[in-house]
Amino acid sequence: MSESSGSRPRLARIALFPVKSLDAISVETVHLLAGGGLEHDRQFAIRDEQGRFVNGKRTDRVHRLRSVCDWVARRVTFRIDDRPGSVSFSIDDDRADLDGWLSDYFSMPVTFVEDTAYGFPDDTDAPGPTVVSTATLEAVTEWFPEIDLAEARRRFRANLEIGGTEPFWEDRLYTEEGSTVAFQIGGITLAGSNPCARCVVPSRDAATGERIDRFRERFMEHRRRTLPDWAERSRFNHFYRLAVNTRRLDTAETRDADSASAAALQVGQTVRILGPRAM
């Protein structure tokens, strides 16, 4: 689990996704929630009548919907890429109109829901921020020349991007099933859980939903061929995996360091691998 001598990992970028499955925003600083997720990340979601999330796995209409959240004013604004204008709603006072507009757009009854305590993480067993290195995303752009770095970020939707490393550095952040790898960013200790299994979303243009032909098969072949020696191969029942899911590490060793005043991540902080921990 030791890092290469030329690697100087640092937190290069923080991305939050205020509405699950919709647009990201970049921030310089973010606090962690009690459950281990990032404040405001996936704080909102869109659900159908059965309680299932409306996301890119279910409909490519998600890709054409732009969103902006204003935390202070408690408003959300939507714009559809192929239509003029935008619509804005008070999250607290206009919920019926908001649900109605989204239901019309998705052609089914949906509701706009909120969870400020835990958010709506993709992996409830590892609800912390997802981690990838800049060099890894750059490697993906070499596999698929039609994707640039900005588009790779939009497709793979990681929260924390680590700079100053070799490609696939984040594959050091997990080990055999039943164990985690502890690592620190600034004063916060996280535990890497597993390489993130991907869905159909990375195969689609983030704005139009247009697919790259045979994306999954091509990706898996590149990933298999370039899997680094430090990756725990037993965690790859298939090679359509990229980035690492995490959880907040809560032990007597880390509780003092992760005090309320220290529990913030900031761009530029150094990243240090501490080593394996039993779950």
191: β partners = 182, 247
Q: Are 170 and 108 contained in the same domain? A: no
Q: Are 176 and 270 contained in the same domain? A: yes
Q: What is the CATH number of the domain that holds 19?
A: 2.40.33
Provide the pLDDT for residue 252.
Answer: 45
Q: Are 150 and 270 contained in the same domain? A: yes
Sequence-ordered list of residues with C-beta below 8 angstroms from that of 19, at least 6 positions apart, any chain: 42, 43, 44, 45, 46, 67, 69, 76
* pLDDT at position 48 over 60: yes
* pLDDT at position 279 over 80: no
Q: Are 155 and 22 contained in the same domain? A: yes
Provide the pLDDT for residue 258.
Answer: 46
Q: Are 110 and 79 contained in the same domain? A: yes
Q: Which of 149, 168, 171, 129 is nearest to 27 (CA)?
A: 129
Domains identified in the chain, total number = 2
Q: Are 222 and 200 contained in the same domain? A: yes
Q: Please, what's the b/e burial string for 232-249 (b: 16 or more CB within 10 A of its CB; e: otherwise)? A: beebbeebbbbbbbbbbb
272: β partners = 184
Can you give the length of the chain in residues? 279
Show the domain range for 97. 44-114
Provide the pLDDT for residue 262.
Answer: 55
Q: Are 223 and 143 contained in the same domain? A: yes
Q: Is residue 4 part of a domain?
A: no
Q: Is residue 2 part of a domain?
A: no
* pLDDT at position 191 over 70: yes
Q: Are 67 and 196 contained in the same domain? A: no
Vertex 227 angle, CA 222 and 232, to 5°: 145
Q: Are 180 and 187 in contact (CB under 8 A)?
A: no
235-238 — which CB contacts under 8 Å span 24+ positions?
A: 235/174, 235/176, 235/177, 235/194, 235/195, 236/195, 238/197
> Higher model confidence: residue 71 or residue 221?
221
With cut-offs at 50, 70 and 90, classify the pLDDT of residue 254: very low
Residues 72-131 have pLDDT tens digits of: 899 999 999 989 999 999 999 999 999 999 999 999 999 999 999 999 999 999 999 999
Q: Are 92 and 162 contained in the same domain? A: no
State both tokens at 268.
């530029």
Q: Are 27 and 93 contained in the same domain? A: no
> How does strand 271-278 pair with strand 264-266?
unpaired
* pLDDT at position 260 over 50: no
Q: Is residue 19 part of a domain?
A: yes
Provide the pLDDT for residue 2.
Answer: 52
The conformation of residue 57, written as its DSSP 8-state character, comes to T
